[in-house]
Amino acid sequence: MKFFVDTADIDEIKDINDTGLLDGVTTNPSLILKSGRDIMEVTKEICDIVDGPVSAEVTAVDYDGMMREAQVLAKIADNICIKLPLTMDGLKACKALTSEGHKTNVTLCFSANQALLAAKAGATFISPFIGRIDDMSADGMELIGEIRTIYDNYDFGTEILAASIRTVNHVKEAALIGADVATVPPSTLKALVKHPLTDKGLDAFLADWAKTGQKIG
Ligand code: G3P
């Protein structure tokens, strides 16, 4: 499973990228707002740090506007992935941009039929929003499973990018069910390493080691 980080915070991206565990970044208009930065500047900086795909979202809602914005965003760097909303215009733009050789991420997916359309439009990634479905007292993970089945039935190459991840269990369940990618907030990504028995075990080993009076090297 690939790990993307869902943020436009440069310090967080650098920090996680340094671990060697980062495969890409996703941003959206809300995350750009949170960063307080200019979209072109901050996205360029992210692309310079990370080798993998960096999703930058269009804000136009009509096909022509999306295509215009996509050309501007695509010029930022070679690893830009154009993020488009799951609307008819978004799908049309996805098809056109994919045919031109651009990477695309179709976002705001809340149903298996929407994911089927995105795959038919040639999307590189489909982004089903797990947390926001859970917020409605439904089961976001069930959607990931449905999309996995449909994509496998027809050998679609579109990668399932599990988004709106809120917990470490979301990451585990998405991995178990076969999502190709998880885009995760920095704090949740860092929390994946935590286990109280790891801390307890390490403390015990260090205490015993000190009693040996030895040093390695
Ligand atoms: O990138 C989109 C997505 O991950 C948003 O997550 O927590 O705002 O539903 P959230």
pLDDT tens track for 11-55: 999 999 999 999 999 999 999 999 999 999 999 999 999 999 999
pLDDT at 151: 98
Continuous segment of H or E residues that includes residue 57: strand 54-57
Catalytic residue among 14, 34, 44, 83: 83
| Distances from the Cα of 133 to the Cα of 19, 61, 138, 167, angstroms | 31, 23, 6, 14
* Mean pLDDT of all residues in 177-181: 98
Query: Which atom of ligand 1 approaches the CA of 31 most closely?
Result: 1
Whether 77 is in a domain gets the answer yes
* Mean pLDDT of all residues in 105-113: 98
Residue closest by Cα to atom 5 of ligand 1: 164
Report CA(181)–ligand 1 centroid distance (Å). 14
Whether 41 is in a domain gets the answer yes
In terms of Cβ atoms closer than 10 Å to its own Cβ (0-12, 13-18, 19+), residue 214 is exposed
Asked if residue 167 has its Cβ within 6 Å of ligand 1, the reply is no
Question: Terminus-to-terminus CA distance in the chain, angstroms?
Answer: 37
Structural domains counted in the chain: 1
Report CA(209)–ligand 1 centroid distance (Å). 45
Q: Which amino acid is at 81?
A: C
Report CA(129)–ligand 1 centroid distance (Å). 7
Whether 125 is in a domain gets the answer yes
Query: Which atom of ligand 1 approaches the CA of 55 most closely?
Result: 1
We report the CATH number of the domain holding residue 56 as 3.20.20.70
**Calpha distance 136→79 (Å, rounded):** 34
Report CA(165)–ligand 1 centroid distance (Å). 7
Task: Tell me the residue range of the domain where 159 lies.
Answer: 2-212
Whether 180 is in a domain gets the answer yes
The candidate with the shortest Cα–Cα distance to 50, out of 183, 170, 165, 178, is 183
pLDDT band at residue 156, thresholds of 50, 70 and 90? very high
pLDDT at 180: 98
Whether 174 is in a domain gets the answer yes
Does residue 120 carry a catalytic annotation?
no
Ligand 1 probe mutation, 31, 54, 86, 129, most atoms within 8 A of CB:
129
Whether 217 is in a domain gets the answer no
